[in-house]
Amino acid sequence: MNDLFSFDDLLSRQILDAGHDKPARLAVIGHPVAHSSSPGMHQPALDALGIEARYIKVDVPPGHVAEAFSRMKALGFIGCNVTVPHKFEALAACDHVHEEARSLGAVNTIRFDENGLHGFNTDGPGFVRAVAEDFGFPLSSFSVVIAGAGGGAGQAIATQCALQGVPRLVLVNRSLDKLGPLTERLRALGPTTDVSAMSFEDAELDAACLGCDLIVNTTSVGLKPDDGSPLPGHCLRSGLCVYDTIYRPAVTPLLAASKLAGARTANGLSLLLHQGVLAFQHWFPQTDPLAVMRRALHHSSEGAG
């Protein structure tokens, strides 16, 4: 059954629920959003807990996020997830923003209630859990290089690194324009963290990568079949931990090169899982959907090859 809808479909329950036993009451919005794996883990959790609700995907054009929220609230939605490129727009549309989301500068989870729109960010806390699970050490113990630090995901993860007090944080981006204000904000949030910024063309990039413990790719390079790696092979070494926030394909060119160099690797499936669990718990406190969501994600990732 179709779980992908358009912004215009948010006008009536008849459109959203035709042919379904359960009403659509949760969603992920993005542009594009057809590729999202979120329904594949949230729906099994809803079903396992006996919650009479469907989780759908809604393609919302930029500039229409606040109106989409208004329509969803009017239709009785419990909440929604927010993916690219809407996380900054979502922050501006909220009536109440959780302190962590305010620090991270973006919202990826919305809860609707009688008091309005509540905004949360589960990307940062989800990343903390993902790193601990994949590499066996707390994020706070790593010196970190973030490739693509100027984007929404990069800024959220960089901010979480500063909040965790990582010893060293190197921000890498195509353009340095976005990194100046971010660098200052991170230094204020994490006064014990040594924060620096550079471009992908910087002569010191190799040394920065080889001298760190953890490289995180938050760029979209690796999503397309003909993509290369966002970082050259000589930036990688044995013993390094490399995390690519992309989860499809499961092995990106960066992760393939990292494995050849003897690095430990992980992809974004664990981040998707843990941020999803935290989002679910904002909608349904005192629930524990982790095991159900993990099984559903691994089943779908195996099916995708």
Q: What are the residues facing 110 on neighbouring strands? A: 80, 119
Return the sign of the alpha-carbon dihedral for residues 82, 84, 85, 91: positive
Domains of the chain are 4-121 (3.40.50.10860), 124-269 (3.40.50.720)
End-to-end CA distance of the chain: 22
Average pLDDT of the segment spanning 284-291:
98
- 8 A C-beta contact, residue 188 and residue 216: no
Confidence at 302, pLDDT banded by 50, 70, 90: low
- 8 A C-beta contact, residue 105 and residue 159: yes
Average pLDDT of the segment spanning 281-294:
98
Q: How far is CA 1 from CA 13, 19, 294, 296, in A?
A: 16, 8, 23, 18
Confidence at 95, pLDDT banded by 50, 70, 90: very high
Which of 26, 15, 157 is CA-nearest to residue 79?
A: 26
The confidence score (pLDDT) of residue 298 equals 85
Confidence at 100, pLDDT banded by 50, 70, 90: confident
What are the pLDDT digits (tens) for 12-71?
999 999 999 999 999 999 999 998 889 999 999 999 999 999 999 999 999 999 999 999
What are the pLDDT digits (tens) for 187-239?
999 999 999 999 999 999 999 999 999 999 999 999 999 999 999 999 999 99
pLDDT higher than 60, residue 81: yes
Q: Rounded distance, CA 279 to CA 259, Å?
A: 32
- 8 A C-beta contact, residue 58 and residue 82: no
Q: Rounded distance, CA 106 to CA 97, Å?
A: 10
Q: String of b and e for 138-154 (b: at least 16 CB within 10 Å)?
A: ebeebbbbbbbbbbbbb
Q: Which residues are catalytic?
A: 87
Tokens 């406190």 belong to residue? 285
Q: Rounded distance, CA 179 to CA 183, Å?
A: 6
Q: Rounded distance, CA 59 to CA 57, Å?
A: 7
Tokens 């479909």 belong to residue? 9
Q: Rounded distance, CA 274 to CA 256, Å?
A: 24
- Assigned token pair, 254: 């960066």
The confidence score (pLDDT) of residue 35 equals 86
Spell out the alpha helix ranges (H) of the chain.
13-17, 38-48, 65-74, 87-93, 99-104, 123-135, 152-164, 179-189, 205-210, 253-260, 269-283, 290-303
- Assigned token pair, 32: 């594009």
Q: Rounded distance, CA 79 to CA 69, Å?
A: 9
Q: How far is CA 252 from CA 63, 211, 248, 275, in A?
A: 32, 22, 8, 21
Confidence at 248, pLDDT banded by 50, 70, 90: confident
Confidence at 153, pLDDT banded by 50, 70, 90: confident
